[in-house]
Homo-oligomer: A and B are copies of this chain.
């Protein structure tokens, strides 16, 4: 199997979020699974680590990310900043053709929502953000947006909140209107507000799913330096015990 194939396969798997956070990804084990040498796996693992899709610790190996709530906030805040900038930029530079493409996309979202085609709606909903990034025509921006969207996907998959946490269709249309009329400030604000809403829809579930953190409860009664640090460690131990 090719190295890029292995990387793509593992990426899909990680983005799907099927493994619990902190799961160990042993080199020898993966080498057996894919039927390739361990070195091949090593390279892919380090690459995934640099892409922030897994966490690699020196002399300890690779682990799936344990998405503590603070990471949710960090990623969504980063998306608000970056995609807010994208929206503002597009409001100034969008061509008539691009406006029409966007209009068609939002219309398809509405249509899918109306006809109850939930699967299509989910896909279109996710593609909307990527489409905007692509419309900048800037490969650097596309790359950065792809990374953030990927991390978001992992987060929502982990909190298995696929049902309600998707993008609201009306909000996409609001963003579109601001873009189409060239209202730079409004477009940026709308995008930022939209992403903030998604985060709030996601967060409540996180607390439920995270279970009893125990150490965090103790930490609440002490000075607050950085509570989430220990949550991660506990999740790792639990996951490793399963393996």
Interface residues of A (CB under 8 A from B): 43, 46-47, 50-51, 74-75, 77-78, 80-86, 88-89, 136, 138-141, 144, 148, 184-185, 188-189, 192
* A228 nearest CB across to chain B (Å): 12
- Say whether B74 contacts A80, CB under 8 Å: no
- Say whether B89 contacts A81, CB under 8 Å: yes
A84-B89, A85-B84, A85-B88 known; A77-B136 Cβ under 8 A = yes
Could you tell me the distance between the alpha carbons of A23 and B89 in the complex, rounded to whole angstroms?
A: 35
Could you tell me the distance between the alpha carbons of A83 and B88 in the complex, rounded to whole angstroms?
A: 11
Could you tell me the distance between the alpha carbons of A233 and B139 in the complex, rounded to whole angstroms?
A: 20
- Say whether A138 contacts B77, CB under 8 Å: yes
Give the chain B neighbours of A74 by CB distance below 8 A: 138-140
* A58 nearest CB across to chain B (Å): 10
- For the complex of A and B, 8 pairs with smallest distance between CB atoms: A85-B85, A185-B185, A78-B140, A81-B85, A84-B85, A81-B89, A78-B141, A50-B50
**What are 19 of the A-B contact pairs (CB < 8 Å)?**
A74-B138, A74-B140, A77-B89, A77-B136, A77-B141, A78-B138, A78-B144, A80-B85, A81-B82, A81-B86, A81-B88, A82-B82, A82-B141, A83-B85, A88-B88, A184-B185, A184-B188, A185-B185, A185-B188
A81 CB contact (under 8 Å) in B51, B136, B185: B136
A188 CB contact (under 8 Å) in B43, B77, B140, B188: B188
Could you tell me the distance between the alpha carbons of A6 and B200 in the complex, rounded to whole angstroms?
A: 43
* A12 nearest CB across to chain B (Å): 20
Give the chain B neighbours of A88 by CB distance below 8 A: 81, 84-85, 88, 188, 192
- Say whether A82 contacts B144, CB under 8 Å: yes
Give the chain B neighbours of A82 by CB distance below 8 A: 81-82, 85, 141, 144
